[in-house]
């Protein structure tokens, strides 16, 4: 079998290539110009193109792999200023209870808690004399005392919690990651310690706030960043 | 094979005849395109670790199918406490975990099946790694073994991914840590990262649960079967005693070290320091190195490591496969085993592996210490192995040159006498009967760990009985 194969192929193979040769038609005076592309090459090319086009016809079907993204809220009431401030004023003078967790609140935005823990955020009443460094808030009498951030750590996506750097009551208010010890400054959520700081990652996404005439604080618009993404791609 | 006519008839003869009849007819099917050998004497299980991995895969398939009946791939909603009140966990939060917990505590036989599934998954990863290193040191990755080798590496990686999707489905804090890290690594992969993460993890946590469920119970097992179709060699060794003993050991491990459900993941409760499963602590050690980007630590470094093994047959072109003729490759294998051991153990520990972990800040590993010790161990492991192999080679060459015989040991098989066979088999049967009774008792009293332990021991006893049968039925 194996001995016969090459013979069979040598007898059949030259046949198509020999046809365009000028020697095969000795009667014609002028030699026929060799064609731009041989028949075999043309057929193979057409076959390949056809296969590519056939595959391309269902190429977009990969979209079925994409998840369904629920509609996001465009604004959501979080808490009233008086309630947030009261919590702060009550514990301010008691060192044992003066824990950041006591004057901050968690909420889910712009997707509710059934969607993903990664959309959990914290709103905190900044302990005096800290003020929100964002220039658009610094003129507002209420919002300059308030910050709100997404709590998904940009290092490896654990959920951070408000706490103090070092000793309790040290006054240096930070957001701390319980998994690998990343710490974020409370006023602007910039990483100041731990792996997120070592890697030079972005701050936690900020929740944009607004306040109405009754002192109700609401989250509005989108987060200024993707939760858990600490690096611009 | 034809039995001599003067042989006395045994009790099992009709059954054996029926099995033979079936076997001969099965040869017309695809199934016996594989040449399956039932060894008639004990051979080292190291030679058929791959077959044992396949057997454990089948155990995983069966137990996994049973767990499907009770598992809920749904995360639910975990609302935080209303303003000014303290947080109360809701029943709608983390329903996947709730269902695993109910499998473990309420479902009849649930904890037994889950324990077998868990310990079999560990056994499968372990057996696959052992199988790979045995074939590596035996030089069976080149000389027409290349496709078996490369598909084997792919199968090993897919096995680990399958284990990963499995333990994430529990949605305890350990699974949650793995999900967080996996998602971060995927997001950071270049160009397609964000799209890939959306496809693998979905958008919401309910997407994640249902996607990982689909991956774990259908997509990845199908991929594994497809790769196995290429990876299975045509000659297989099915050693009933060893297969039965391995199954028994898995059950015994389940009885001795029952797996719990872990701490429930609830986004409103502060998580705790936790470590991944042992086959991922190596990656976890790299991820925790200070200043090392997670994608490099968790994806590039392991990929390079796997790639070095994948391309080994294309660089080791020698015709010789004995360890003694391949000092470079043997030393490379020993050095890599050392690396795996160090990073795996370090992954479980604080940054300084000698101190007790109390604070998450202690997890961050100093790169100089970490990579310094890895380089030192590579140098030592590689250097000593290389020198040893060369020294052995020189010694054998010297013996050969002096025309002296090369010493080697051979163990003579021990043949049981008739009375020994009777007493051993009788004792094993008594042991099994006793164990069966105590399994029944343990079942009545809901002592699941005892049930597992004792079923495992019965299987080991069965393995011993089959082994005694096969060696004694051949002795004159």
Give residue A5's pLDDT: 44
- Does residue A216 surpass a pLDDT of 80? yes
Give residue A232's pLDDT: 66
pLDDT-based confidence at residue A126 (cuts at 50, 70, 90): confident
Looking at chain A, which residue has its C-alpha nearest residue B271?
Answer: A178
Q: Which of B80, B92, B188 has its CB closest to that of A106?
A: B80
Instruction: Tell me if B84 and A83 make a contact (CB, 8 A cut-off).
Output: yes
Token digits of residue B328: 């470079």
- Does residue A113 surpass a pLDDT of 80? yes
Give residue A31's pLDDT: 63
Tens of pLDDT, residue by residue over B127-144, are: 999 999 999 998 888 888
Looking at chain A, which residue has its C-alpha nearest residue B192?
Answer: A233
Contact between residue A172 and residue A203 where contact means Cβ atoms under 8 Å apart: no
All residues of chain A having their beta carbon less than 8 Å from the beta carbon of residue B293 are: 199
Nearest to A62 by CA among B13, B473, B198: B198
Give residue B116's pLDDT: 93
| Domain B34-79+91-270: assigned CATH number | 1.20.810.10
| A126 part of a folded domain | yes
Residues of chain B with pLDDT under 50: 1-4
All residues of chain A having their beta carbon less than 8 Å from the beta carbon of residue B177 are: 156, 158, 179
Give residue B226's pLDDT: 94
Looking at chain B, which residue has its C-alpha nearest residue A122?
Answer: B80
Instruction: Tell me if A105 and B83 make a contact (CB, 8 A cut-off).
Output: yes
- Does residue A201 surpass a pLDDT of 90? no
Q: Are strands B35-37 and B235-237 parallel, antiparallel or unpaired?
A: parallel
| Residue where the block lists tokens 């060893």 | B242
The predicted model gives A223-229 an average pLDDT of 87
pLDDT-based confidence at residue A166 (cuts at 50, 70, 90): low
| A46 part of a folded domain | no
- Does residue A3 surpass a pLDDT of 50? no
Give residue A168's pLDDT: 56
Give residue B227's pLDDT: 93
- Does residue A17 surpass a pLDDT of 60? no
All residues of chain B having their beta carbon less than 8 Å from the beta carbon of residue A181 are: 359-364
| A41 part of a folded domain | no
Give residue B87's pLDDT: 81
> How far B84 CA lies from chain A's nearest CA (Å)?
8
| A166 part of a folded domain | yes
Tell whether A60 is within 8 A of chain B (Cβ).
Answer: no
| A35 part of a folded domain | no
- What letter would DSSP give residue A188? T
Q: What does the alpha-carbon distance between residue B395 and residue B399 come to, in Å, rounded to a whole number?
A: 6
Q: Which of A105, A115, A178 has its CB closest to that of B204?
A: A115
The predicted model gives A154-169 an average pLDDT of 78
Give residue B6's pLDDT: 54
Give residue B13's pLDDT: 86
- Does residue A21 surpass a pLDDT of 70? no
Task: Please report the DSSP string for B159-222 in residue order.
Answer: HHHHHHHHHHTT-BHHHHHHHHHHHHHHHHSTTTHHHHHHHHH-SSHHHHHHHHHHIIIIIHHH
Give residue B3's pLDDT: 46
Give the count of domains, chain A.
1
Give the mean pLDDT of chain B: 87
Tell whether A86 is within 8 A of chain B (Cβ).
Answer: no
Residue range of the domain that includes A141:
75-220
Instruction: Tell me if B180 and A158 make a contact (CB, 8 A cut-off).
Output: yes
Give residue B200's pLDDT: 92
Q: What does the alpha-carbon distance between residue B174 and residue B167 come to, in Å, rounded to a whole number?
A: 8
Tens of pLDDT, residue by residue over A70-108, are: 888 888 888 888 888 888 888 877 777 777 777 888 899
| B421 CB neighbour count, 10 Å cutoff | 17
> How far A52 CA lies from chain B's nearest CA (Å)?
22
Give residue B151's pLDDT: 93
| A40 part of a folded domain | no
pLDDT-based confidence at residue A226 (cuts at 50, 70, 90): confident
Looking at chain B, which residue has its C-alpha nearest residue A62?
Answer: B199
| A195 part of a folded domain | yes
Q: Which residues pair with A123 in a beta bridge?
A: A105, A148
ipTM: 0.80
Looking at chain B, which residue has its C-alpha nearest residue A87?
Answer: B84
Give residue A167's pLDDT: 60
Q: Which of B198, B268, B363 has its CB closest to that of A181?
A: B363
Domain definitions of chain B by residue range:
34-79+91-270, 280-404, 418-474
pLDDT-based confidence at residue A34 (cuts at 50, 70, 90): confident
Q: Which of A67, A87, A180 has its CB closest to that of B198?
A: A67
Give residue B246's pLDDT: 92
Give residue A80's pLDDT: 86
Question: In chain A, helix, strand, coil percent, each to 5?
Answer: 30, 20, 50
């Amino acid at each position: 079998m194996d001995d016969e194969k090459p013979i069979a192929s040598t007898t059949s193979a030259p046949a198509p290539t020999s046809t365009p040769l000028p020697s095969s038609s000795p009667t014609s005076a002028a030699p026929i110009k060799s064609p731009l592309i041989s028949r075999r090459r043309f057929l193979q090319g057409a076959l390949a193109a056809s296969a590519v086009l056939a595959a391309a016809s269902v190429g977009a079907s990969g979209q079925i792999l994409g998840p369904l993204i629920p509609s996001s809220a465009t604004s959501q009431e979080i808490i009233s200023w008086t309630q947030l401030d009261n919590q702060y004023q009550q514990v301010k003078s008691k060192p044992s209870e003066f824990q950041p967790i006591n004057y901050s609140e968690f909420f889910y935005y712009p997707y509710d808690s059934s969607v993903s823990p990664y959309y959990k955020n914290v709103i905190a009443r900044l302990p005096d004399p800290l003020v929100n460094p964002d220039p658009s808030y610094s003129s507002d009498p209420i919002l300059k005392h308030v910050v709100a951030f997404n709590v998904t750590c940009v290092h490896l996506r654990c959920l951070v919690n408000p706490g103090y750097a070092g000793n309790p009551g040290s006054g240096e208010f930070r957001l701390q990651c319980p998994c690998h010890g990343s710490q974020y400054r409370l006023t602007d959520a910039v990483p100041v310690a731990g792996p997120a700081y070592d890697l030079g990652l972005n701050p936690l996404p900020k929740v944009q706030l607004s306040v109405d005439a009754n002192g109700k604080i609401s989250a509005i618009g989108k987060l200024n960043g993707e939760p858990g993404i600490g690096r611009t791609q | 094979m034809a039995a001599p006519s003067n042989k006395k008839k045994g009790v099992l003869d009709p059954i054996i005849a029926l099995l033979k009849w079936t076997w001969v007819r099965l040869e017309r099917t695809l199934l016996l395109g594989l040449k399956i050998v039932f060894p008639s004497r004990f051979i080292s299980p190291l030679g058929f670790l791959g077959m044992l991995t396949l057997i454990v895969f089948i155990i995983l398939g069966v137990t996994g199918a049973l767990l499907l009946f009770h598992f809920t791939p749904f995360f639910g909603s975990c609302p935080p406490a209303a303003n000014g009140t303290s947080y109360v966990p809701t029943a709608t939060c983390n329903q996947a975990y709730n269902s695993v917990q109910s499998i473990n505590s309420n479902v009849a036989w649930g904890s037994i099946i889950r324990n077998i599934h868990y310990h079999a998954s560990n056994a499968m990863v372990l057996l696959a790694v052992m199988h790979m290193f045995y074939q590596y040191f035996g030089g069976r990755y080149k000389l027409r073994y290349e496709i078996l080798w490369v598909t084997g590496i792919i199968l090993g990686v897919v096995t680990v991914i399958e284990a990963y999707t499995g333990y994430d489905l529990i949605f305890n804090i350990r699974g949650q840590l793995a999900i967080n890290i996996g998602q971060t690594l995927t997001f950071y992969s270049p160009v397609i990262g964000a799209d890939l993460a959306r496809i693998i993890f979905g958008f919401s946590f309910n997407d994640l649960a249902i996607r990982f469920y689909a991956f774990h119970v259908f997509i990845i097992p199908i991929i594994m079967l497809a790769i196995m179709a290429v990876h299975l060699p045509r000659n297989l060794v099915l050693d009933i005693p060893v297969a039965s003993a391995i199954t028994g050991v898995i059950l015994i491990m389940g009885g001795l070290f029952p797996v719990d459900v872990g701490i429930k993941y609830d986004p409103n409760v502060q998580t705790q320091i936790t470590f991944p499963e042992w086959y991922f602590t190596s990656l976890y050690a790299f991820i925790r190195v200070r200043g090392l980007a997670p994608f490099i630590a968790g994806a590039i470094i392991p990929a390079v490591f796997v790639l070095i093994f994948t391309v080994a047959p294309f660089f080791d072109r020698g015709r010789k496969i004995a360890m003694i003729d391949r000092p470079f490759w043997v030393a490379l294998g020993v050095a890599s085993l050392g690396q795996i051991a160090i990073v795996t153990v370090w992954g479980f520990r604080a940054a300084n592996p000698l101190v007790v972990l109390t604070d998450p800040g202690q997890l961050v590993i100093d790169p100089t210490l970490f990579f310094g010790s890895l380089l030192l161990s590579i140098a030592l492991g590689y250097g000593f192995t290389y020198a040893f192999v060369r020294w052995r080679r020189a010694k054998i060459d010297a013996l050969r040159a002096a025309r002296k015989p090369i010493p080697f040991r051979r163990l003579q098989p021990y043949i049981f006498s008739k009375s020994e066979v009777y007493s051993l088999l009788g004792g094993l049967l008594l042991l099994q009967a006793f164990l069966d009774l105590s399994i029944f008792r343990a079942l009545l009293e809901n002592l699941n760990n005892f049930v597992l332990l004792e079923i495992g021991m019965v299987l080991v006893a069965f393995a011993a009985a089959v082994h005694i049968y096969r060696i004694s039925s051949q002795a004159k």
